Amino acid sequence: MASSSMTTRVMKEDGECINWADLPSELTLSILSRLDTIDILENAQKVCTSWHRVCKDPAMWRKIVIPRDIGDLVYDLKYVAMCRHAVDRSQGGLVEIDIWYIGTDSLLNYIADSFPSLEELEVPRCRLMVDFLKVVGQSCPNLKTLKLYCEAFMRPRFVYDDFALAIAETMPGLQFLQLVGDLLSDIGVSAILDNCPNLEHLDLRLCFNIKFAGDLEKQCSERIKVLRRPEDSFHDYPYEISFYDTDASEDYYPEDDYFEVPSDHFDYDPYDIDDGPFLDGGFSYMHL
């Protein structure tokens, strides 16, 4: 265990010193909710008892963010356990989640089963299974925004509409859909348009199987307010783009390449702290 000094007091212009721990809980929640999930669980909740109490409030966990700049964490059970704990703390009130690299099937299904109020889901750089998308659609009737990212092929050799059909089948309330690099075809796009009547924003960049043949062009023009086409620029895309200027192969969706976490791994929760190293009214805090 290591320690570092950090003032928990702020000096006002008149020279009076105010303790951060004495702020109203609503203001403390507003401040701490701007931190990512790791910072809250590993640091903020350990500062003092009042901060710990705020960090246990389900309102703190309407949004869960595992930052994307901490490396490839697919095999790091620590962060999977941390995310599951954050999910539990939200008590069903989660509306937005960004878990970047750690989206194993078991974790994603756990999230989907827990949150009927979820409105936005973003799963970039994660190999998804069709069954997971169906679970999301069936478990999250309020889902309005779905953002998926796949590796893109400039000259795809085969069509894969299963993701699109799963979305069309189970997510009628979508308003914003991003499918960058997907292998869907006109059939998948048509199914989405037919079954998602509220859809206004459709991002199909790098989806080079789509030809907009027949009436599809007219359907998109009439139905979609913001349409990003396969060949459109992705200069404003917030993530790194990975695509291949080679033919795709059936090996693109390997069924034996998924890392699953045993459910009994999560029996112990190191983040459910009731008696932490708090220093109420002091000038420093302890962190792991």
Question: Residue 208 has what DSSP assignment?
Answer: T
Q: Token pair of 164, please?
A: 């699109």
3-class state of residue 77 by DSSP: helix
Q: Give the closest residue to 125 by CA, choosing from 84, 191, 69.
A: 69
**Euclidean distance between CA atoms 168 and 190, whole angstroms:** 9
Q: In what order do the strands lie in the sheet with 120-123?
A: 63-65, 96-98, 120-123, 145-149, 176-180, 201-203, 226-228
Mean pLDDT of 132-136: 84
Is the pLDDT at 133 greater than 90, yes or no? no
Percent of the chain at pLDDT exceeding 70: 67
Q: Token pair of 205, please?
A: 């960049």
3-class state of residue 78 by DSSP: helix
| Correct CATH for 121-247 of 3.40.50.2300, 3.40.50.2000, 3.30.43.10, 3.80.10.10 | 3.80.10.10
Mean pLDDT of 36-48: 90
Mean pLDDT of 274-280: 46
**Euclidean distance between CA atoms 116 and 93, whole angstroms:** 9
Q: What's the pLDDT at 65? A: 87
Domain locations in the chain as residue ranges: 20-118, 121-247
**Euclidean distance between CA atoms 43 and 232, whole angstroms:** 42
Q: What's the pLDDT at 241? A: 67
Mean pLDDT of 154-169: 88
Q: What's the pLDDT at 128? A: 62
Q: What's the pLDDT at 12? A: 52
Q: What's the pLDDT at 184? A: 94
Is the pLDDT at 257 greater than 80, yes or no? no
Which residues are 97's β-sheet partners? 64, 121
Asked if residue 167 lies in contact with residue 142, where contact means CB atoms within 8 angstroms, the answer is: no
Residue 77 binned pLDDT confidence (cut-offs 50, 70, 90): confident
Q: What's the pLDDT at 100? A: 66
Average pLDDT across the chain, whole number: 76
**Euclidean distance between CA atoms 216 and 175, whole angstroms:** 18
Asked if residue 61 lies in contact with residue 89, where contact means CB atoms within 8 angstroms, the answer is: yes
Q: Token pair of 232, please?
A: 């459109």
Residue 286 binned pLDDT confidence (cut-offs 50, 70, 90): very low
User: pLDDT per residue over 7-23, tens digit each?
Assistant: 455 545 555 666 766 77
Residue 28 binned pLDDT confidence (cut-offs 50, 70, 90): confident
Q: What's the pLDDT at 209? A: 93
Q: Whole-model pTM above 0.85?
A: no
Q: What's the pLDDT at 104? A: 67
User: pLDDT per residue over 169-222, tens digit each?
Assistant: 999 999 999 998 889 999 999 999 999 999 999 999 989 999 999 999 999 999
